[in-house]
């Protein structure tokens, strides 16, 4: 019961801090920068995958990202993304690519600002250090995505080659297990990606910070937003009456806003759990007799 009260208190603190720190405004800003940074990041992803001789892997990574989005959002983004893929070459050291990295880093810096606001600005480094770290996150993130997608592409081929060495009677059960694992890959990759963002951007001066609660909350809100928006739009046939030809863009922005809200709330939840853990340790330390 004591543990349940502690968790309830932490969640209450997270929601209160979300309101106090003006989380809705932060989510709106983050949603705008997410849209602004998405295409530059894709340009960089395609360019670096081409440089590494993994163009197809980069395209598969983009297709994977599109598969997570509601179909209506994916339809809006697919056209411009196809244009990017066709026009972006492997020449990475060009002004446009460097500008793309810088613009994509703005989205990372916005997410870092959300975490700093949740944990306290006293943990912030100098702005030039934060900017260099954001650029490193973009570059490392793109390379990590390419490596992860290479594994996802090679994995099924290796599994098929291995099962061909054995009789079907021996591999039927393993094939069923592989199908289940393949089904869980998408949530697992997203979970690791979100956890990596919280891991990279949470202030390092914070002592033993929580990251998993906010990661799980953000992932849950992402899936609920994707399914919920698709369900709503399947019954709202006239949603484009209000915004006309901009309806698709507005829907995409709404989706980004809801997911950004989940990220901001996740940051507050991580901060609340971290502070609760520190307070609990402080109480336990004081209760130890000298």
pLDDT tens string 236-268: 666 666 667 777 788 888 899 999 999 999 999
Does the predicted TM-score (pTM) go above 0.85?
A: no
Question: Which position has the higher pLDDT, 171 or 206?
Answer: 206
CA 130 to chain centre: 19
pLDDT of 72 reads: 75
State percent of the chain over pLDDT 90: 27
User: Within 10 A of 24 (CB to CB), how many other CB atoms are there?
Assistant: 14
**Cα–Cα distance, 250 to 246 (Å, whole number):** 6
Burial label for 236, CB within 10 Å (0-12, 13-18, 19+), is exposed
**Cα–Cα distance, 262 to 89 (Å, whole number):** 35
Question: Which position has the higher pLDDT, 163 or 36?
Answer: 36
**Cα–Cα distance, 175 to 64 (Å, whole number):** 23
């Amino acid at each position: 019961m004591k543990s349940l009260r502690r968790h309830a208190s932490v969640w209450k603190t997270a929601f209160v801090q979300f309101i106090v720190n003006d989380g809705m405004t932060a989510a709106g800003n983050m949603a705008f920068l997410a849209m602004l940074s998405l295409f530059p990041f894709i340009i960089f992803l395609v360019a670096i995958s081409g440089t590494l001789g993994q163009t197809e892997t980069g395209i598969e990574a983009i297709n994977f990202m599109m598969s997570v989005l509601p179909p209506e959002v994916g339809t809006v983004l697919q056209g411009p993304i196809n244009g990017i893929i066709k026009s972006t070459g492997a020449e990475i050291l060009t002004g446009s690519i460097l500008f793309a990295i810088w613009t994509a880093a703005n989205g990372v810096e916005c997410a870092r600002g959300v975490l700093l606001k949740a944990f306290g600005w006293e943990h912030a480094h100098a702005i030039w250090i934060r900017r260099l770290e954001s650029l490193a996150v973009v570059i490392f993130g793109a390379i990590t995505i390419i490596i992860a997608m290479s594994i996802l592409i090679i994995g099924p081929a290796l599994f098929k080659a291995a099962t061909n060495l054995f009789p079907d009677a021996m591999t039927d059960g393993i094939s069923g297990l592989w199908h289940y694992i393949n089904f869980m890959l998408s949530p697992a990759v997203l979970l690791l990606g979100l956890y990596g963002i919280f891991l990279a951007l949470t202030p390092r001066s914070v002592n033993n910070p929580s990251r998993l609660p906010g990661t799980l909350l953000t992932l849950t809100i992402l899936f609920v937003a994707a399914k919920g928006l698709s369900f709503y739009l399947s019954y709202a046939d006239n949603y484009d009456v209000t915004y006309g030809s901009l309806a698709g863009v507005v829907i995409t922005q709404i989706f980004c806003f809801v997911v950004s809200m989940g990220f901001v709330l996740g940051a507050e939840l991580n901060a609340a759990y971290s502070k609760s853990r520190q307070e609990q340790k402080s109480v336990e330390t004081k209760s130890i007799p000298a």
